Structure 1
């Protein structure tokens, strides 16, 4: 599995109603994408308590790279490029991904990136991340993903939540609202 995200930072005075409307009108278009485990249409608003800036930041979990490549080369991503320019797409190989059978009830998401301890063996780090993931599932996360970036040696922790929870503290933590979740496995 592989996960990806692009974060589009929008101006401070941007009408975020446009993003909410975009999600409402277009969110269903990814409900049946091949190899997609889920896509969470995420946004953050500058004036909301947990938002520091206006962001549109969809997050994807793919079963394989063929579906991801087809999406990035297709009309859906071309629409993003036409509206916002071509964003940097970050990708992380997945260590673990657990999700409820239906994650469409998610209203919030958290994304945390943290540097890897240089001296800790990857196996030990992976075990420690598994414990964090289990703890967040016990706290009510609908989806929990642990992944890593071997280029910058950092860990990614992504969670979908049914409601607002106590957010992780740290330098590189984003808190998002969820506008829509596409989960093709729920559409048979």
Structure 2
């Protein structure tokens, strides 16, 4: 599995209703895309939950062939025409919990942290698995733990129906739609 995210930082005065409308119209188009295990259409509005206006979909792909089919598709070409050529982050997935209830998520959190030099990756993977399990027990509808060995970072991505009472680190998003087979 491969996790993938790109994002667009929008101007501070951008009307985020345009993004919400775009998600409502285009979100269902990927509901049955071959090889897509999950796509969450994420946005964040500048203010209390985010320092910037963001549009930042997060994907989980079965394999690189499925991801490449999407990146070569007309849909991605139209996105690029509308918002520009994005930098795409890609992480090999360590662990994923993808509940069928994820399609009802209303909130998402994403935490990216550096991996310390020479960290024992097996031990880190086990720690991340334990954290994923704790978050599922706290109500996460989907949970992905992954890492990126070029910049040596790890990512924890979670979908929630309700944000837990305990503060969560990282970027917070609203979820406009979830595509899931």
Alignment TM-score, normalising by the size of structure 2: 0.96
1:17, distance to aligned residue in structure 2 (A):
0.2
1:51, distance to aligned residue in structure 2 (A):
1.8
Partner of 2:35: 35
2:22 aligned with 1:22, yes or no? yes
Contact 1:110/1:167 (<8 A) preserved = no
Superposed CA deviations along residues 31-81 of structure 1, whole A, max 9, x for unmatched, are 11000001000000003x212110000000001111110100001111110
Alignment partners' CA distance in 1, 2:97 and 2:75: 26
Alignment partners' CA distance in 2, 1:136 and 1:119: 27
Tell me, which stretches of 5 or more residues in structure 2 are unaligned?
none
2:63 aligned with 1:64, yes or no? yes
1:18, distance to aligned residue in structure 2 (A):
0.1
Structure 1 consecutive aligned stretches of length 4 or more whose deviation exceeds 3 Å: none
- Three-state SS of the structure 1 residue aligned to 2:67 is helix
Tell me, which stretches of 5 or more residues in structure 1 are unaligned?
none
- Three-state SS of the structure 1 residue aligned to 2:129 is helix
Describe how 1:100-179 pairs up with structure 2 within 5 A.
100-165=99-164, 166-169=166-169, 173-179=170-176
Contact 1:8/1:55 (<8 A) preserved = yes
How many residues are aligned here? 180
1:103, distance to aligned residue in structure 2 (A):
1.0
1:164, distance to aligned residue in structure 2 (A):
2.1
